[in-house]
Amino acid sequence: MAEAALRTFRPANKRGAARLAAVQALYQMDVGGTGLLETVAEYETFRLGQEVDGETYREADAAWFRDIVSGVVRGQTFIDPLIHSSLTTDWPLARLDTTLRAILRAGTYEVTARKDVPVAVIVSEYVDIAKAFYDEDEARLVNAVLDRVARRSRGEGRGQDPKEKD
């Protein structure tokens, strides 16, 4: 059984580690009110690939990390309304906790701005990040929202838009 678990474990690659770090940085910026340059410098100097409190952070693609964090900050006035319109009416963006908002913002940025990355890869990576913090409900929410964002921004996606039902 342990051998099977080891075979199914998929370690994060450098971009995956950058995505997780970007979500953590966006969370920190939202909660602590720290600025973009200060936060990015802290992560690049003290976290990415470094040991912090006895835990070693995975080596991450620093350029990918910077692109996501700065892209979310730069595009937040576009990103937040897109996420809001992709949520069901009973779950407005303001109702989501800070970590879930950070995951959706980073994922939405990538779907809309990184056309060089397949939607399926982006959605899968952010669903995995959601699973690291939450139970299945939140991971399904991330999957559904990013799928709707992809349909609206790239014309790709599989699910049904909740606003198209009526």
> What are the residue boundaries of the structural domains of the chain, listed by start?
14-153
- pLDDT score of 43: 83
Q: What Rg, from alpha-carbon coordinates, does the chain have?
A: 16
CATH class for the region spanning 14-153? mainly alpha
Q: 115: which 2 tokens? A: 């056309």
Q: Which residues pair with 50 in a beta bridge?
A: none
CA separation for the pair 32, 28 (Å, rounded): 5
Counting as low any pLDDT under 70, the low residues of the chain are 1-12, 47, 49-58, 157-166
- pLDDT score of 5: 41
With the C-alpha atoms ordered 111, 117, 123, 129, is the resulting torsion angle positive or negative? negative
Q: Are 69 and 76 a contacting pair, CB within 8 Å?
A: no
The whole-model pTM stands at: 0.83
H and E: helices and strands count for the chain: 7, 2
